[in-house]
Amino acid sequence: MKPRLVELLRCPGCGAALTCFSFEERPDAAGLAQGGEAYGTEIESGLLACQGCDLAFPIIEEVPRVIRNAFEEYADWFKEQSPRITAIDGLGAVSQKIGSVDSSRFDKRSNESFSLQWEKYQYGDKTWFKSDLDQRRDEFLDAVQLSADELDGKLVLDAGCGNGRLTASVTRYGAEVIGMDLSRSVVRAHKMRDEHAGENAPRLHFVQGNVMEPPFAPETFDHEHTSGVLHHTPSTERSLDSFLTLVKPGGRVYVQLYRTREPWIGIPNAIIRACTSRLPLNLLFNVLYFLAPLHRWLVLIVAKLRGETSPIADTSRREQAISLFDNYSPRYQYRYTPAQMEKLFTERGLKNVRDVTFENEARHMVAFVGDK
Ligand SMILES: C[S@@+](CC[C@H](N)C(=O)[O-])C[C@H]1O[C@@H](n2cnc3c(N)ncnc32)[C@H](O)[C@@H]1O
């Protein structure tokens, strides 16, 4: 991570600023040339200690892990680094602290399920049956209803960035972009940033963080984007509230959620999920991988009956299994009609609220933009 990120990060527990103790770092000449000192170093490993409470967050494989339960999730790292940590003045107690985890804000299964899902993903795959390299990237401006000029020089958050491929592509509009995700997907996304963002890579950052306890100060971002994320948290409404605090007044907000499906598909889906979202993750993935050809066949038959073509025809069995896993594994999967989503936006005081759902995803998703 770049020192620049330290300026922006806050403790998800108490909101205070963080002090960075760098254990290993290397110079980044391209970052220095582009943005000066704040971008000129890559901190490879270290610790972010809260200035307000006793929580501390590791920087591992160059990615800050700013989640309240970091001590638990990265117990091995804390153990290994214990001599270094205890040697830092005033930090002796840190290695003893465990951030208390509130299950109404942090869902462990989500973290583990999406971490596994993005491990199975391979860069070059289609994400949600769309190519990241052109289709999703090109759709981004239409989705957020901003021009490239309006993004130039702005700070943008992509909350729940998943594989980070779309996040990276936004840097080509001149924006500085932060991709945040609860899962460990951010590690691979960070490793791929040079390949995905090219010369803009120094202004692309990834953070492990929870949108329900975001590791940023209020009104940090010029614009915000979140696709397919908030409905996977314990409360879409509370996630939306904390997501909205992060954007500056006047900033554009894009939110995409799952759409309420027709009962003939919605009810069986809910019944099947009641079972599958409790199964061990690896077992579930293997079962879905086994069943993927059967599912593909059913989807193609339904598409034929509707006189449509389905993008599933051009995807691999693994991509199909990932998409099935995305549906059947997460514990939370709330769904909304356009009217409900509009209400979510208007009752929070957003202005210029409009439905921006693409035709090619309107069966499954609903997307709105608004201005804070
Ligand atoms: C369906 S994926 C969407 C990924 C990406 N936005 C996209 O459009 O391709 C949902 C993502 O939300 C992330 N997520 C779930 N709960 C989260 C939370 N509380 N905070 C941040 N990210 C979360 C998951 O880890 C996962 O990567």
103 pLDDT more than 90: no
Proportion of the chain above pLDDT 90, given as a percent: 74
First to last CA, the chain: 29
Give me the pLDDT at residue 361, please.
87
Dump pLDDT digits (tens) for 218-229.
Answer: 999 999 999 999
What is the amino acid identity at position 339? A
Give me the pLDDT at residue 124, please.
81
Angle among Cα 12, 17, 23 to the nearest 5 degrees reads 95
Query: Considering only CA atoms, which of 2, 40, 32, 37 is closest in space to residue 20?
Result: 2
What is the amino acid identity at position 287? V
Residue entry with tokens 């638990």: 72
Instruction: Check residues 8 and 299 and name the one with the higher pLDDT.
Output: 8
Dump pLDDT digits (tens) for 182-195.
Answer: 999 999 999 999 99
99 pLDDT more than 70: no
CB of 41 sitting under 6 A from ligand 1 = no
Whether the pTM exceeds 0.75: the reply is: yes
Give me the pLDDT at residue 132, please.
65
Q: Which two tokens stand for residue 50?
A: 């809260």
- Mean pLDDT highest for which of 109-123, 203-217, 312-326? 203-217
Dump pLDDT digits (tens) for 10-48.
Answer: 999 899 999 999 999 999 999 999 999 999 999 999 999
User: 3-101 architecture in CATH?
Assistant: Single Sheet (2.20)
Give me the pLDDT at residue 205, please.
97
Give me the pLDDT at residue 200, please.
93
Q: In angstroms, what is the span from residue 211 Cα to ligand 1's centroid?
A: 9
* Average pLDDT over the chain, rounded to an integer: 92
Mutate to test the pocket of ligand 1, among 66, 114, 239, 328 (most ligand atoms within 8 A of CB): 114
Same fold, 3-101 and 109-260+340-371: no
Q: Tell me what the mean pLDDT of segment 156-170 comes to.
A: 94
Please report which confidence band the pLDDT of residue 362 belongs to, taking 50, 70 and 90 as the band edges. Answer: confident
Please report which confidence band the pLDDT of residue 4 belongs to, taking 50, 70 and 90 as the band edges. Answer: very high
CB of 183 sitting under 6 A from ligand 1 = yes
Dump pLDDT digits (tens) for 205-249.
Answer: 999 999 999 999 999 999 999 999 999 999 999 999 999 999 999
Q: In angstroms, what is the span from residue 167 Cα to ligand 1's centroid?
A: 12
87, 114, 354 from 366: Cα distances, Å: 51, 21, 11
Q: In angstroms, what is the span from residue 158 Cα to ligand 1's centroid?
A: 10
* Contact predicate 12/210, CB 8 Å: yes
- In CATH terms, is domain 109-260+340-371 a member of 3.40.50.150? yes
Please report which confidence band the pLDDT of residue 317 belongs to, taking 50, 70 and 90 as the band edges. Answer: very high
> Residue ranges of the domains in the chain?
3-101, 109-260+340-371, 263-328
Q: What is the DSSP string of 147-172?
A: -HHHHTT-EEEEET-TTSHHHHHHGG
Q: In angstroms, what is the span from residue 150 Cα to ligand 1's centroid?
A: 25
22, 156, 172, 286 from 25: Cα distances, Å: 7, 25, 26, 39
Q: Which two tokens stand for residue 38?
A: 């704040």
CB of 214 sitting under 6 A from ligand 1 = no
